[in-house]
């Protein structure tokens, strides 16, 4: 045991007493599992920032938090360079607990017992990271953010800000009114996750319905192909021949 490097832990909970309780509990199992608390976070956003800024081995992650729940945080965490192991903590959530069991994701029920915590930490050292499919299944609704990695920083892009998603070779370009981001996800999966919000206008492009200002005939192509014009960005996106019917459907609604 002593030969092992201490586990770097990150405590994430929106309630201060819950974080303080976790510190007390960790102090109690210090003899059996060497660890070091590398950070504490009161929100999912802060947790991501902390996990990117320093090496974290295990994140103790509360499920119910404002803005972004623990399940979504875990998904974004799996996208960073050195994804940490995740141990969910929850006071009561019948739905989540069933799902954790199904996917063999480690979780602790609050109030947490020292013995259970010790067990989970020992296991976390060797445990595989949660599989993305399992986390996707756990997520009750679509994520509220997309996350993009950039030079040791995580950008959280509110899904409501996205104008369009365009598949490039290996990445998907996310366009917001401010700028573009690259994310490593598949367009098909994004289309599945947000069927209401986005509509496919082209084989390689999903467009947010709310962001569309209208449609215009392209000046460049001789056949007068339709293009989507947006409210908040100057680019235009071509509507593929197969999706021409969308122009009529969307213009009507």
Partner 1 sequence: MPGSINQNTYTKALPNFRNLGVLLRILVIVSVMSVGAALVKGGSLAEAWQQFLGISAFVQPAVMLSLVLLVMLNGLLRRAPYAAGVAFVMVLELVLVTALHTLSRPLLGMELGALERYWLLTLLVTATLLVYFDLRGRALSPALTEARLQALQARIRPHFLFNSINAVLSLIRQEPQRAERALEDMADLFRVLMADNRQLAPLQREIELCREYLNLEQLRLGERLQVEWHVDKMPQDAMVPPLVLQPLLENAVYHGIEPRLSPGVVSINIYLARGEVHVVLRNPYEPAGNHHGGNKMALANIRERLQLHFDAEASLAARVGEDAYQVHIVMPYQKALAA
What is the x/- site pattern for partner 1, positions 163-192, by CB under 8 A?
A: ------------------------------
CA-closest candidate to residue 59, choices 33, 80, 40: 40
Contact 227, 235 (CB under 8 A): no
Q: Is 144 in the site for partner 1 (CB under 8 A)?
A: yes
Coil, helix or strand at residue 230? strand
User: Does 26 engage in binding with partner 1 (CB under 8 A)?
Assistant: no
Establish if 18 lies at the interface with partner 1 (CB under 8 A).
Answer: yes
Our finding on whether 196 is near partner 1 (CB under 8 A) is: no
| Stretch binding partner 1 (CB under 8 A), from 31-39, 80-88, 109-117, 122-130 | 109-117
- Asked if residue 115 binds partner 1 (CB under 8 A), the reply is no
3-state helix, strand, coil in the chain (%, to 5): 35, 30, 35
Chain CA centroid to CA 65, Å: 14
Q: Which of 40, 57, 93, 227 binds partner 1 (CB under 8 A)?
A: 93
C-alpha separations of 33 from 1, 26, 114 in Å? 8, 9, 11
Task: Let me know if 143 is exposed, middle or buried by CB neighbors in 10 A (0-12, 13-18, 19+).
Answer: buried
Q: What residues numbered 27-86 form the site for partner 1, per CB under 8 A?
A: 43, 64, 66-67, 69
Rounded Cα–Cα distance for residues 114 and 129 (Å): 23
Give how many residues touch partner 1 by CB under 8 A. Answer: 21
- Asked whether position 110 contacts partner 1 by CB under 8 A, the answer is yes
Out of 1, 24, 31, 245, point to the residue binding partner 1 (CB under 8 A): 24
Residues of the shown chain interacting with partner 1 in the complex, contacts defined by CB under 8 A: 15-18, 20-21, 24, 43, 64, 66-67, 69, 91-93, 109-111, 140-141, 144
């Amino acid at each position: 045991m002593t030969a092992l490097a201490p586990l770097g832990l990150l405590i994430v909970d929106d309630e201060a007493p819950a974080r303080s309780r976790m510190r007390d509990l960790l102090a109690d199992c210090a003899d059996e599992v060497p660890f070091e608390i590398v950070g504490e976070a009161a929100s999912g956003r802060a947790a991501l920032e902390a996990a990117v800024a320093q090496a974290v081995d295990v994140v103790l992650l509360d499920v119910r938090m404002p803005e972004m729940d623990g399940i979504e945080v875990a998904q974004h965490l799996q996208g960073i360079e050195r994804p940490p192991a995740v141990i969910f903590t929850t006071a009561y959530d019948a739905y989540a607990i069933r799902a954790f069991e199904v996917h063999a994701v480690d979780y602790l029920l609050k109030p947490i017992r020292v013995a259970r915590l010790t067990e989970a930490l020992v296991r976390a050292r060797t445990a595989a990271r949660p599989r993305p499919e399992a986390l996707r299944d756990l997520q009750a609704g679509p994520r509220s953010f997309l996350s993009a990695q950039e030079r040791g920083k995580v950008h959280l892009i509110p899904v409501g800000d996205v104008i369009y998603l365009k598949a490039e070779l290996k990445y998907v370009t996310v366009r917001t009114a401010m700028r573009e981001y690259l994310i490593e996800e598949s367009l098909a999966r994004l289309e599945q996750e947000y069927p209401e919000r986005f509509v496919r206008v082209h084989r390689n492009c999903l467009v947010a319905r709310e962001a569309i200002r209208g449609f215009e005939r392209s000046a460049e192509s001789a056949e007068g192909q339709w293009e989507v014009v947006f409210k908040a960005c100057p680019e235009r996106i071509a509507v593929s021949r197969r999706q021409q019917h969308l122009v009529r459907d969307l213009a009507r609604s």
